[in-house]
Structure 1
Amino acid sequence: MLGRPRKFDENGAREVAMQLFWAKGYEATSLSNLLAAMGISKSSFYQTFESKHTLFEQCLNQYRDILVSTMSEGLANAPTPMMFIKHALVDVANDTNDPLGRRGCLMMNTASEFSQRDSNIARCVEAGIQATKDIFLQAVKAAQADGDISSNTRADILADYLVTVVSGLKSQVKAGASRKQIINTAEFSVRTLQEMA
């Protein structure tokens, strides 16, 4: 026998949940918070998402997919790979003007909240970080081919460096750093990358 048809936008509800988890963290987001924000009943929640934990995993994967799509589009549309790298760092400063931007990075927030105590969540976080690194790796290799970055340092090491810098910048924004502080650090990091022998 078929169940009752779902009368809500599942993707839209998941987006709302992602924003709530991003703002509050996993533990601080209660089921009642989720139900109120998503506008669904408890039975619809469990029928569709199974559990808060399963929904959170889905939200992490959705966040990763959005991040990858945004970065891939940015790399494809940038005048040069080096400009993409610069903007990826400097544009973090825009988060200082947006209360939502002050939330930091959902992946890194989750890594801090969970550490390694949940293997499924750890895999989601690892996949998100790896996806970001893969795009930076493409950009670094292309910038090295253009002669904008030295080829003396392995591209994968530089990609790891960029992931670390961006994560650090977003953490600084979350901690209350000013726009000027973020721009100064981002520009210094770009110069360091270009000056590596």
Structure 2
Amino acid sequence: MLCPAENEACPGPGRPRGFDADCALASALALFWRQGYEQTSLDELTAAMGISRSSFYACFKSKHGALLAAVERYCDESFRALTDLAAAAADRAAAARAVVGAIAAPDGGRNGCFLANCVTELAPHDPEVEALSRRQLARIEALLARLLSEPAGDRAADAPDGPGAAPRRAGALLSLALGATMLRKAGVAPERLEALLGEADRLISP
């Protein structure tokens, strides 16, 4: 689901006490994304962030605190990027296609979606990660539903594919896009993922 900080680089170790916490967090996000939470040791984390343990604990309190901050950063940045894509599109259908395509990212490599990775690894036993992921998925689904909604008066409210169907179609589109990210992580070829995303048009323009 977009990669706003995956490749950000920060200065190396030995950063002074007044380090750039935002830059350090970007490095933590990139490491968690590559390795997962459980496979990342505290030594690896502080080395990647370029800060001492004392600075780490003063800023993030714990490894879990750093993860939550990274997840929240990812969610906010990726949602902002999605809304910008939607705003730049020529029309609502094009905006919905752009959002779905950005989430699925067929050419995004095998790291997968950071949020989906966290959900798979941690959400079943981490209520804070679960809450952040639910909030993010809900606002993306709401964005898609708004894009799929007909302007008032364009279609009868009781029509089978009228305005009331937009939330259901939005949920189906989001499920399709997230499924594509998992297939991408499994190594499915980008061409196959593009073909799968072609099915999204049936939901966007039924």
Q: TM-score, normalised by structure 1?
A: 0.85
Aligned pairs (5 A) from 1:86-125: 86-91=97-102, 94-96=105-107, 98-99=108-109, 102-125=110-133
Aligned pairs (5 A) from 1:6-17: 6-17=17-28
- Structure-2 residue corresponding to 1:66: 77
SS at match of 2:149: helix
Does structure 2 conserve the Cα–Cα contact (< 8 Å) formed by 1:82 and 1:140?
yes
SS at match of 2:76: helix
Stretches of structure 1 lacking an aligned partner (at least 5 in a row): none
Report the CA distance shift for 1:107/1:177 in structure 2 as closer, same or farther (over 3 A). Answer: same
Shift of 1:92: 5.7
Structure with the higher fraction of residues in helix conformation: 1
Does structure 2 conserve the Cα–Cα contact (< 8 Å) formed by 1:144 and 1:151?
no
Q: Look up the equivalent residue of 1:27 and give its one-letter code.
A: E
Shift of 1:193: 3.9
Higher relative contact order (CA 8 A, sep 6+): 1
SS at match of 1:103: coil
SS at match of 1:132: helix
- Structure-2 residue corresponding to 1:76: 87
The C-alpha deviation readout for 1:42-94, integer Å capped at 9, x for no partner, is: 11100111001011111111011011100110111100110112223345675
For the residues of structure 2 that align with 1:144 and 1:161, how far apart are their CA atoms?
Answer: 23
Q: Look up the equivalent residue of 2:121 and give its one-letter code.
A: E
For the residues of structure 2 that align with 1:7 and 1:146, how far apart are their CA atoms?
Answer: 57
Shift of 1:192: 4.3
Say whether residues 1:131 and 2:143 are aligned partners. no
For the residues of structure 1 that align with 2:153 and 2:198, how far apart are their CA atoms?
Answer: 22
Identity of aligned residues (%): 27
- Structure-1 residue corresponding to 2:158: none
Report the CA distance shift for 1:151/1:173 in structure 2 as closer, same or farther (over 3 A). Answer: same
Does structure 2 conserve the Cα–Cα contact (< 8 Å) formed by 1:64 and 1:131?
no
Report the CA distance shift for 1:69/1:146 in structure 2 as closer, same or farther (over 3 A). Answer: farther
Q: Look up the equivalent residue of 1:105 and give its one-letter code.
A: C
Does structure 1 conserve the Cα–Cα contact (< 8 Å) formed by 2:106 and 2:180?
no
- Structure-2 residue corresponding to 1:27: 38
Stretches of structure 2 lacking an aligned partner (at least 5 in a row): 1-15, 156-160
Shift of 1:157: 1.2
- Structure-2 residue corresponding to 1:42: 53
Report the CA distance shift for 1:59/1:30 in structure 2 as closer, same or farther (over 3 A). Answer: same
Shift of 1:107: 1.4
- Structure-2 residue corresponding to 1:167: 178
For the residues of structure 2 that align with 1:143 and 1:106, how far apart are their CA atoms?
Answer: 34
Which is further off, 83-92 or 133-142?
A: 83-92
Shift of 1:146: 7.0
Say whether residues 1:183 and 2:194 are aligned partners. yes
